[in-house]
Structure 1
Amino acid sequence: MTAVPESAARLSPERETEIADRAEREHLTPGPWRLEYEQCDCSDGYCHHGAYVAAVATPEPTPIAAERLARSGEDPRDYDFSRTDLGDFSAADWELMAHAREDVPALLAELAAVRAERDQARARVAALEAERHTTNEALSNAAEQLRRDRDRIAELERPTVEAKRAEIRQSYAELIAAAEETKDFEGAFDVQCRLREREEQWKREDKEPVR
């Protein structure tokens, strides 16, 4: 992960606007610009110039060439696109070139800082994604363990539950027997109905999942 240098001066909105303005002014010569080189033909043995920049080639003819072509109506030639004199460039061109030595490093530094911030954000997102995955996995394991524990508790409690139900059935049976002994058949029937309701309730409880 690339760290953002704390001491690096960030590009202010005002500075950015200033640079953008120079790159978008009217009368800027359209690009791309291409350097044309020539080979030095000095023969004194002391020159050592080698190849040097002789002109800047642009997609549009120079101002002088454009004026001549407009008068003559002839097609432009290769040298009409080569700018060799100061006057071949507009004031906006020179403003752009003169400030490029400071503008380009400033823009590159800002780009590096923005990319570093992007890398830090990506790393943080990746860490959060990994953390979330770990948390979800832990929660899933905990939920599964909770289900197992509840099933085990229900299993251990089952004998006690059945014993309690048996006591209740016995009490109902005794009530029914007592009612029948006294010829209270209506009361005996009522107790039998309540016992059936209780049995149905127990069946529903047994079918419900353990919570």
Structure 2
Amino acid sequence: MAQPLTDEQLTAIAARAEGATPGPWTPDEDESVWRLHGTHPRIPGMKWQILKAAKQGTPYAEYWPNPADAEFIAAARADVPALLAEVHRLRAERDGARTQVAAAQAYADELTTSAISPRIAAYIAGGLRARLDLAADPTTT
């Protein structure tokens, strides 16, 4: 399992995304050149060429993207910010769930000292704790 990204790593990814040419990015090509365009940084709506790669006539031409790679690269401009937003949303959801689990665990502790039958309270609290432990275990997600 991959290690979770740190807040510093997410901040660095966001900074790179924010520093890149505005999107959307679109690839195009003709028989000799592959290009990637974004939106001009100062003139909204105007295309801005980000990359131009020769397809032939140069020793490095064979290393430039095939159509699927070109689409992937172009989509990254929108995909990276969307994925960052999803990471932040999921972390907030996780943190909220952890708060709810802690409150339920406190309730289970309270049950064991309540006025109801100690055996019944212990049984209920034990079942509740087992389910909470399972829900709180990060390896089960």
Q: RCO higher in 1 or 2 (8 Å CA, sep ≥ 6)?
A: 1
Q: TM-score, normalised by structure 1?
A: 0.28
- Bigger Cα Rg: 1
Q: TM-score, normalised by structure 2?
A: 0.39
